[in-house]
Structures are given as structure tokens and as C-alpha cells.
DNA sequence: GTCCCTATACTCGGATAGCAAGTGTCCGAGTATAGGCGG
DNA sequence: CCGCCTATACTCGGACACTTGCTATCCGAGTATAGGGAC
């Protein structure tokens, strides 16, 4: 099992967009430059987040992406599902219905026991991710990150927006 | 994100092996026949479970696999990690250390905030899976499954072990 | 000086190759069994 | 009749192709801007 690398990028971008000046936008190239990742590929994930309604896209010069909602109204789970898809990690293929112990379809009223357990774990995972918002992440970064790094980030913003 | 299909097979096999007569073993071919899956590929996953110490393999005629521990002492998580690997689903590539806001390595004392959140969710997922044992699954199946299917399963056993 | 128009340059968006990992399969090494042989 | 030996057949174990999906990249459609010209 493995989570797409784009999820990490999407979350970092969301955090950066959350501290943007109001009504400002940041294009793909800038976001890629800040995070040191290939712009062409990052674009793919930003488009996915835009399609999911997490980001608003602004075309033309001075355009780019910005958060579509308040940072407190976007959960980590939202980003994960936008980039990585929302299909559950475990998919029951109903193998209990095959082989010598198979019976008529109407006999299978309750879901497969294994399916139930996996779904419960999946729900716990999603619940944890839904608890944290992008605003929470911003607060965590502000508290945990090195002051030097924060100042360098602020300086980078200054150079762009003047 | 996606869990290997072999995990489902491994869990179903573990449940079947849990209701085996003591000191009996079931070969790959029989397990594949019962679940209606290709034997050659199932073998791969059974080997992984054997390597992980969950199954004991018995070579030669009348050989096969059997549980290496009591069914109550094997968790669903054990099987998942044996088949699918135990590396966390999310892997932080430390992109915060790249780009214009990068600072000296010693400045990064605490883990990346995003990494923390993802790890917390991963732990919740693993915790849920660790709570349930193969014995629990057996109990769930015994209670939920159709009586007809259970009888057909018992009959299948009868034909093999006489 | 002000307004309008046009050309420009920059943005997103989707369609297109490359690669790693999961999926599926095969054959060889090793062993308990069953049958035959000798005592 | 009993014990031993040998050949057999069945098992696991790891090495070898194939397919799906993630990774990476490019070029085209659309738009706000900036500059120039007319009034």
C-alpha cells in the first residue's frame, strides 16, 4: 500500500496558499519553485484539487491558484481524496461467493466479515485526517518550524508581492 | 492508494486454516480451490506469510500450511503487513528542506507537520487492524455467514480429511 | 489628457510517453509416503 | 510376518514475463494586462 507522492505536494501547496494575501493567487511555477518539485507534474495535482472544488483557478497574467474556501474549512482528508482518489484502499472481491462453499446470492445479506474489519480501519484513518484542517497545519508549522525558515519564506513572499 | 488484492486472500486463508483439525495442514492447491483463485499466485502470498512467521509450512505429501500460532494470537494487521509490507503508506520526502526557504539541516528538529498528521492517521488505521484477531474473524464468520454456506464448507472439509 | 483597441504574454487544462510496482506464471529443490524386497 | 530400502509423487520456495497505474512531460485554449493610437 502506498500513498501517491502528489498528496504530500498538494498539502504543502495548500498550506502555502493559506498564508497568501487576500485575493492574491500563486501560479503553478511559483508553487513548484518554492517546494523544489517539477512544475509540469505538480500542475496535474493542482488541477485535481481545482476539480474537487478545493482551489479556485485564476487564468491570465497575475493568475494562478488560491484556496476556494477558508483554510479552516478544508480538511487534510479533502486534499488526500482530491489528489489520490476517494475509493477505499481495500476492495472486497467477494471471494466468499466462489469455490465449493458458494451459495445463492440472496444468502449473503451481511457484508463479508473481513470487509467489515477493513472498512472500520479505513474509517478510523479517514476520521483522523478529517479532524485536521489546513488552518491547523498552518498553526502547527508556525509553531514548530525554525524561525529562520519562516523568515526566509516571508522574504520570498515579499519579493513576489512587493 | 490501494491495498494489494493478496491481503484479502491471505486473510481468508488464515480464517480457513484457523478451523483446521489440529496438526493438519492445507496445501496451496486446496486453499486456492476453496477460494476460487489462481493457485500459482496465491502461493506467493502464502510464502510471504510463512516468511513472516504467521504460517508453518509442511513439505512433502500430506503437507501444506498451518497457522504458526493460535488464531487469537495473530492479528489482522499481522497478515496485512506480511503480505503488503510494513512500510507506512505515507512517506515524507522532506520537501520543506528544498526551495528558497530551506535552512541548515540541524534546524529541522521536529518532524514535518504534515508528516505528523499522516502518521497519526496511519497509527489509527493500524490500531484498528491490530484489535481484531483471526479468531475474532472466525467468530464473526460463524455468526454472520449463511448456515447453508457453513454446512457446505464443513462438507468440503469432510471430503478431504475423511 | 482620456478612452478604446489591439497585440502580447502569461495562465490553466487536458492529451501524451516512460517507468515502477503489483499481478500472474513457471520450474527446480526437498521430503514424507507407499510399495517392494529381503530377512 | 516384520523391518528396511528405494522410488515416487507431492509439497514448498524462489526466479521469470506481463499488465496496471503512478510518474513525468508537453503543447494548445483562454484571458487579464500593457502599450499604443485616436479623439
User: Residue A153 is placed in which grid cell?
Assistant: 519564506
**Domain-embedded: residue B92:** no
What's the rounded mean pLDDT across residues B17-40?
Answer: 94
pLDDT for the residue numbered B1: 83
pLDDT category at B23 given cuts 50, 70, 90 is confident
Residue B36 or residue A22, greater confidence: B36
**Domain-embedded: residue A65:** yes
Statement: residue B162 has pLDDT above 80? no
Statement: residue A162 has pLDDT above 80? no
Strand partners, B55: B67
Cβ–Cβ pairs < 8 A, chains A and B:
180
pLDDT for the residue numbered B58: 93
**Domain-embedded: residue A91:** no
C-beta atoms surrounding B22 within 10 Å: 5
Angle between helices A39-51 and A5-18 (to 10 degrees): 70
Statement: residue A63 has pLDDT above 80? yes
**Domain-embedded: residue B66:** yes
Question: What would the DSSP string read from start to end of A86-129?
Answer: SS-S-----GGGSSTT---GGG--SPPHHHHHHHHHHHHHHHHH
pLDDT for the residue numbered B127: 98
Q: Which residues contact A142 (CB under 8 A, 6 or more apart)?
A: A150
Strand, coil or helix: what is B105?
Answer: helix
pLDDT category at B5 given cuts 50, 70, 90 is very high
pLDDT for the residue numbered B64: 94
Residue of chain B nearest A103, judged by CA positions: B149
Chain D bases closer than 7 angstroms to a protein Cβ: 9-15, 21-27, 29-33
- Any strand C atom closer than 7 Å to A91 CB: no
Task: Check CB contact of B105 with chain A, cutoff 8 Å.
Answer: no
Statement: residue A15 has pLDDT above 90? yes
Q: Which of residues 18-57 of B touch A (CB under 8 A)?
A: 33-37
Helix/strand/coil percent split, chain B, to 5: 60, 5, 35
**Domain-embedded: residue A35:** yes
Which residues in chain B are closer than 8 Å to A144, comparing Cβ atoms? Answer: 110, 113
B76, B101, B107 ranked by CB distance to A153: nearest? B101
Q: Which residue has the cell 493460535?
A: B70
The pTM of this model reads: 0.93
Q: What percent of chain B has pLDDT over 70?
A: 99
- Any strand C atom closer than 7 Å to A28 CB: yes
**Domain-embedded: residue A140:** yes
pLDDT category at B148 given cuts 50, 70, 90 is very high
Question: What would the DSSP string read from start to end of B124-155?
Answer: HHHHHHHH-BHHHHHHHHHHHS-HHHHHHHHH
**Domain-embedded: residue B104:** no
**Domain-embedded: residue A69:** yes
Residue of A118, A138, A139, A151 to mutate, interface with B, max B Cβ within 10 Å:
A118
pLDDT digits (tens, 9 = 90+) for A70-119: 999 999 999 999 999 999 999 999 999 999 999 999 999 999 999 999 99
Q: Which residues contact A113 (CB under 8 A, 6 or more apart)?
A: B137, B140, B141, B144, B145
Burial A133-146 (b: 16+ CB within 10 A, else e): bbbbbbebbeeebb
Domain count along chain B: 1
CATH number, residue A151: 1.10.10.10
Which residues in chain A are closer than 8 Å to B105, comparing Cβ atoms? Answer: none
pLDDT digits (tens, 9 = 90+) for B51-100: 999 999 999 889 999 999 999 999 999 999 999 999 999 999 999 999 99
Chain C bases closer than 7 angstroms to a protein Cβ: 9-15, 21-27, 29-33
Statement: residue A23 has pLDDT above 90? no
Burial of residue B13 (number of CB atoms within 10 Å: 0-12, 13-18, 19+): buried
Nearest nt (C1') from B3 Cα: C22
- Any strand C atom closer than 7 Å to B38 CB: yes
What is the domain range of residue A156?
Answer: 5-86+134-161
pLDDT for the residue numbered B67: 97
Contact A121 B117 (CB under 8 A): no
Statement: residue A140 has pLDDT above 80? yes
Amino acid at each position: 500500500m502506498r500513498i501517491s507522492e502528489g498528496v504530500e505536494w498538494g498539502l504543502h501547496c495548500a498550506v502555502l496558499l493559506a498564508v497568501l494575501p487576500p485575493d492574491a493567487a500563486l501560479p503553478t511555477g511559483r508553487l513548484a519553485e518554492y517546494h523544489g518539485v517539477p512544475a509540469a507534474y505538480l500542475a496535474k495535482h493542482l488541477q485535481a484539487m481545482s476539480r474537487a472544488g478545493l482551489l479556485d483557478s485564476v487564468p491570465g497574467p497575475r493568475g494562478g491558484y488560491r484556496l476556494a474556501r477558508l483554510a479552516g474549512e478544508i480538511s487534510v482528508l479533502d486534499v488526500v481524496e482530491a489528489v489520490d482518489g476517494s475509493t477505499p484502499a481495500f476492495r472486497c472481491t467477494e471471494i466468499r461467493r466462489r469455490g465449493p462453499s458458494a451459495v445463492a446470492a440472496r444468502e449473503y445479506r451481511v457484508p463479508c466479515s473481513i470487509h467489515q474489519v477493513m472498512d472500520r480501519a479505513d474509517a478510523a484513518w479517514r476520521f483522523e485526517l478529517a479532524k485536521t484542517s489546513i488552518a491547523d497545519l498552518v498553526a502547527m508549522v508556525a509553531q514548530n518550524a525554525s524561525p529562520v525558515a519562516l523568515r526566509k519564506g516571508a522574504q520570498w513572499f515579499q519579493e513576489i508581492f512587493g
